[in-house]
Structure 1
């Protein structure tokens, strides 16, 4: 298990991945949102950065906070609390942006902090078929069991899709 500090925001995940001895397809970056623990596959995580100036974008869903310019790349930001219908809270020094690469486009998730990278083998993941919406689609890929803890594992491609907008199609994301 590799521990990530909430105060030391690594600038790139490749170095972290090189430290891990287990195969990375069973590794999940975990983070709290409200009182729950969530996880995303580290195969799509490119970096974790501290919060910086967010530029507003008009005519987007309320959970799209805007974009950031990260070393010349314009990255759209989604506030995960708002996406999940959890009450908004003021950003603080623990708030971070998890930058993902989804469908060849960068996307940033604003989360309350990061916890750790966990190895969750497939046989410890309960699939989320019962969590699907009316179209049979769910943001939840599965529930990862680790001893007494459970992490809600997210399907990131579905997380960034919405009937109102597809975040990876925001023109700035391709700039």
Structure 2
């Protein structure tokens, strides 16, 4: 069986490069005004109206436990399909789409797995970029958190 390359979108959080399967990304949008919602988790920043659709917005930095940062000219929203729900993920920068050979991808280290990071899909070792942390966007939110985001989107 021939393994095909994985098209991966590269984005930055806190100067670290991450990757996610491009098939999960619907579009990349400039940061626009987010309508904040009261009484939601700190990583749920609110909602936006994107071409007539209400999209809940999640700050990926906050969700992954990184230090929060203010928006810059490079800040983007990745509109992603997360378990059949459209969610906007705020990232510091979306830099590239690349092909990654399957043999360049290793499973997430055991140490990371034991800390309950189901969203860590693995690590890609790339000659020109060094190590790239690969995320599975379907697991960035727990089922409970996904329900909260879904509730936000329905309001």
User: What TM-score results when the alignment is normalised by the length of structure 1?
Assistant: 0.77
- 5+ unaligned residues in a row in structure 1: which ranges? 1-22
Please, which moves more after superposition, 153-162 or 42-51? 153-162
What's the secondary structure of 1:30's corresponding residue? strand
1:59 aligns with 2:39: yes
Task: Quote how far apart the aligned CAs of 1:35 are.
Answer: 2.3
CA distance in 1, matches of 2:63, 2:149: 17
RMSD (Å) for aligned C-alpha atoms? 2.0
Within a 5 Å distance, the mapping from 1:1-175 to structure 2 comes to 26-128=6-108, 130=110, 131-133=112-114, 138-148=118-128, 149-161=130-142, 163=144, 165-166=145-146, 169-173=149-153
Q: How many pairs does the alignment contain?
A: 150
Secondary structure of the 1:138 match is: coil
1:174 shift after superposition? 5.1
Residues 107 and 167 in structure 1, CA contact (< 8 A), matched pair in contact too: no
**Bigger strand share:** 2
- The answer to whether the 8 Å contact 1:160/1:167 transfers is no
What is the alpha-carbon distance in structure 1 between the residues aligned to residue 152 and residue 23 of structure 2? 23
